[in-house]
Amino acid sequence: MALQQLNPPPDFMATIPLDHFLALPRPDTNIGRPDGTIDTTTLAAHDFDVDTRSGFMPPDPPMTRLPEQWEAWESALDEAIDNKLQLGDKADLSENDKQKAVRWQSDIRQIPIIPTTELKTSEILLRRAHLVLAWLMHFYVRTLPPSSDDIRIPPPITVPLLQVSSHLQLPPVLTYSDDVLYNWALRQPVPLTYESPTPALNNLRCLRLFTGTTDEEEFYLASARIELQGVRALSLMRATMDEAFVGDDIAIQRISTYLRHLAGVITDMKQTLLAVRDGCDPMTFYNEIRPWFRGADSDVGRRWVFEGLELDPELKEPTELSGPSAGQSSIIHALDIFLGVDRYSHASHVTGHSQTPASSSSQASSSSSSISQSSSQSTSTSPEKSLPPSQSTSTSFLTRMQTYMPRHHRAFLRHLSANPRPLRALVESSEDPSIKEAYNIAVSALKVFRDAHVQIVAVYIVGPSRKGGRPDQELKGTGGTNSMMFVKSVRDQTAGAILKTT
């Protein structure tokens, strides 16, 4: 089965309402392709925006600037970066830096509220607008001086950001897609060819950085490279599903081979994850880079107030405001779902908060929130809105993170979850021991990936916090979790998915 065949059958398309996301045009249909590019997007790109060459990353480098009409946003972001604005709570902030931030914030308040209607003609414009406005918002919030007052975000940012986010069904906050998926360009503009269809891992650079450091760039690129390595994983998943459809002895043998290959791909991803240490210094990451990502749930006792909601009756108070996290990476979720590990790793008790019970595979249950249950939460008003969003819900952290993914990718994961021939059930019911062995090798590789991730969290968060890093944030993840406890818990849950062999 090709990726494009993962689409719903034609009769399904006939029954969906016109405003359903599957009835929407493909991402760039309204503005056309950039000059000189060939439209090789697949049918899967139409529905799921997953490309056979680049997976969840777009195959062509993302848009770098909005058209003239929205230039005020782009210029404001340029200014923040060119002026090297510093974190407002930096210990040794100079008077000059403080004044620069005050001037920039005042300029932001003077920007007119630019209409977003014409952005809605194109997914690509909307994505770029989300990226620029979310970066502006994080610059605005994080350059404010420390205080116990609420953080008031001005209407020139909030109104268009909320409008764009509502259209994209995304939370109005910086997401992994703004930092990683749509924040890259090619170092050397090499055309993709039939022989090398995927951008080379060493030919990427980032479009936007808060700090201008290579450490920050390498941090984002580690995830981008893992996304691109995931292309091979997606293709193995697709081949496995083909064989599962046939289901005979030869198919079982082939699936066993694919699963062993998949373990190899996951091992490569682990190596890339560990290689982040070559280019990103832990103290720089902890003290200078990571604080820019912090979302509303990292601000203890300070609310984020979105000014100007009254200007558009359609706008609602946002409830999902966690900072970006690679927990929003669709490729890792896809692996979990494909291997049937999500039943464990996404179990509803793995919320990432200290009240989370100690992990144990026996706790995994079918009560783990499914992607379809969570997908509409991003812009809805929570009845518990007085609580910080991530603490007001018992939804698992990873399920909640799916609401921060581009909606086409969320749809892909939902579709993968609905696979009528789930791999794990097939393995459990097979009498051939080789498939169980191969399945366990693949799940073990994912567990080992998460072992490495636990090491990374120890090096980049626990270590620096012990060396006198920022005390307020010490062990919290940017997604608002109690980081070490959480990543270990997901790792242990993954280990719990390994099947017993007789």
Amino acid at residue number 90: K
CA 216 to chain centroid: 17
Closer to ligand HEM at the Cβ: 108 or 276? 276
Q: How far is the CB of 155 from ligand HEM (least distance, A)?
A: 29
Name residue, tokens 């060493």. Answer: 202
Q: How far is the CB of 354 from ligand HEM (least distance, A)?
A: 13
- Burial pattern 232-244, b for ≥16 Cβ within 10 A else e, equals bbbbbbbbbbbbb
Alpha-carbon distance of 439 to 423, in angstroms, equals: 9
Q: Is residue 86 classed as helix, strand or coil in its secondary structure? A: coil
Q: How far is the CB of 226 from ligand HEM (least distance, A)?
A: 4
Q: How far is the CB of 329 from ligand HEM (least distance, A)?
A: 4
Q: Among all residues, whose Cβ is closest to ligand HEM?
A: 477
Closer to ligand HEM at the Cβ: 165 or 328? 328
Closer to ligand HEM at the Cβ: 221 or 252? 221
Do residues 88 and 82 make contact, with C-beta atoms less than 8 angstroms apart? no
CA 139 to chain centroid: 20
Q: How far is the CB of 236 from ligand HEM (least distance, A)?
A: 18
Closer to ligand HEM at the Cβ: 445 or 490? 490
Alpha-carbon distance of 251 to 242, in angstroms, equals: 9
DSSP string, 445-495: HHHHHHHHHHHHHIIIIIHHHHTT--GGGTTB-TTSSBHHHHHHHHHHHHH
Alpha-carbon distance of 232 to 253, in angstroms, equals: 19
Q: Is residue 64 classed as helix, strand or coil in its secondary structure? A: coil
Q: How far is the CB of 476 from ligand HEM (least distance, A)?
A: 7
Q: Is 453 annotated in some ligand binding site? A: yes
Amino acid at residue number 420: P
Q: How far is the CB of 346 from ligand HEM (least distance, A)?
A: 9
Give the binding site for ligand HEM (CB under 6 A): 219, 222-223, 226, 273, 276, 280, 285, 325-327, 329, 332, 398, 450, 453, 456-457, 460-461, 477-481, 483, 486-487, 490
Closer to ligand HEM at the Cβ: 399 or 483? 483
Q: How close are the terminal C-alpha atoms of the chain, in Å?
A: 33
Do residues 476 and 347 make contact, with C-beta atoms less than 8 angstroms apart? no
DSSP string, 256-299: HHHHHHHHHHHHHHHHHHHTHHHH--HHHIIIIIGGGG--GGGS
Q: Is residue 43 classed as helix, strand or coil in its secondary structure? A: helix
Closer to ligand HEM at the Cβ: 216 or 243? 216
Closer to ligand HEM at the Cβ: 52 or 223? 223
Closer to ligand HEM at the Cβ: 388 or 480? 480
Alpha-carbon distance of 59 to 65, in angstroms, equals: 18
Q: How far is the CB of 420 from ligand HEM (least distance, A)?
A: 25
Enumerate the known binding-site residues for heme b: 453
